[in-house]
Amino acid sequence: MSDSNMPPAPFRDLQALLRELEQEGQAHDAAQSEHRNKRLNLEAPTARLLQLLLLSGRRRRVLEIGTSNGFSALWIADALRRIPGARPLITIERDPARAEAARRNLARAALDRWADVRLGDATAIVAGLEGPFDAVFFDADRVSAPGQLALLLPRLEEDVLLLADNALSHPQEIAGYLEAVERLPGFVTTVVTVGKGLHLAHRIGAPPATRPARAD
Ligand SMILES: C[S@@+](CC[C@H](N)C(=O)[O-])C[C@H]1O[C@@H](n2cnc3c(N)ncnc32)[C@H](O)[C@@H]1O
């Protein structure tokens, strides 16, 4: 086996791996003239906010649409491993080389058991997912997100958090998704001005059944 074919050594210091991927991703993307060849990883502050929201909301069934090489998947998997009762992240990527890179990076951080990387077109894969999900992160091509959301609706828990990146950087492309979310009853929404703009939509579940008030 040549050196280039050797699997990378396990990299158990997650923060160091995240820093490495962040710097490498920025250098890689700066050198690419074609958008489709870029990795387009989340900015670290956005990834940290995403992780904090998953942790504080104790999200246990998370779906990510748009894996790239697994940068955000590492943050999400690292949240899920700490949440009691959580299932592994399902994350979808249509580019085989990126999906493979994501699996490799998750294995390097010993987080591979916390993320299931599915290769293929997101809409086709979403149509076959059972769910239910209590958090969905939309980070692929923004134009197919409304269709994916429609497919997911019956498979969302009442208490669900929807997240989408690029709300500020690509307002026209994401408009269809934002309109689709605004039409749904029961959601509160906002855009956080972090990175490229993180859109959040939360629907709180019905309150636990309460005893009828006593007349006396
Ligand atoms: C913005 S990048 C994802 C970045 C990743 N979430 C991160 O922070 O590391 C978008 C990725 O979605 C993938 N993608 C775009 N459209 C897709 C689709 N319809 N189905 C599956 N993957 C798709 C692209 O190949 C690309 O790798």
Give yes or no for residue 121 CB within 6 A of ligand 1: yes
- Using CA of residue 191, residue 149, residue 156, residue 46, what is the dihedral sign? negative
Per-residue confidence (pLDDT) for residue 85, from 0 to 100: 97
Q: What are φ and ψ of residue 200, in 5° steps? A: -120, 140
Question: Residue 62 in contact with residue 133, Cβ under 8 Å?
Answer: yes
37, 94, 100: residue to mutate for ligand 1 pocket, most atoms within 8 A of CB: 94
Q: Which residues contact 212 (CB under 8 A, 6 or more apart)?
A: none
Tokens of 118: 């599915």
- Taking the C-alpha atoms of residue 169 and residue 202, their distance in angstroms, rounded to an integer, is 22
- For ligand 1, is residue 115 a contact (CB within 6 Å)? no
Query: Ligand 1: distance of its center to the CA of 157 in Å?
Result: 24
> Strand, helix or coil at 62?
strand
pLDDT digits (tens, 9 = 90+) for 147-175: 999 999 999 999 999 999 999 999 999 99
User: 94 CB under 6 A from ligand 1?
Assistant: yes
Domains of the chain by residue range: 34-203
11 contacts 17 by C-beta, under 8 angstroms = yes
Determine the Cα–Cα distance for residues 20 and 7; give it in Å rounded to an integer: 17
Smallest CA-to-CA distance from 180 within 146, 136, 205 is with: 146
The residue contributing the CA closest to ligand 1 atom 1 is 40
Considering only the top CATH level, what class is 34-203? alpha beta
Helix runs in 40-94, H state only: 44-56, 71-80
Tell me if 100 sits within 8 A of 122, measured CB to CB. Answer: no
Strands 198-203 and 187-192 turn out to be: antiparallel
Q: Which residues of the chain have pLDDT under 70?
A: 1-12, 207-216
Residue 110 in tokens: 């010993």
Smallest Cα–Cα separation from 162: which of 74, 53, 86, 84?
53
Residue 205 has what pLDDT? 73
| Helix (H/G/I), strand (E/B), else coil: 54 | helix
Residues 6 or more apart whose CB falls under 8 angstroms from that of 48 comprise 75
The predicted structure's pLDDT at residue 182: 96
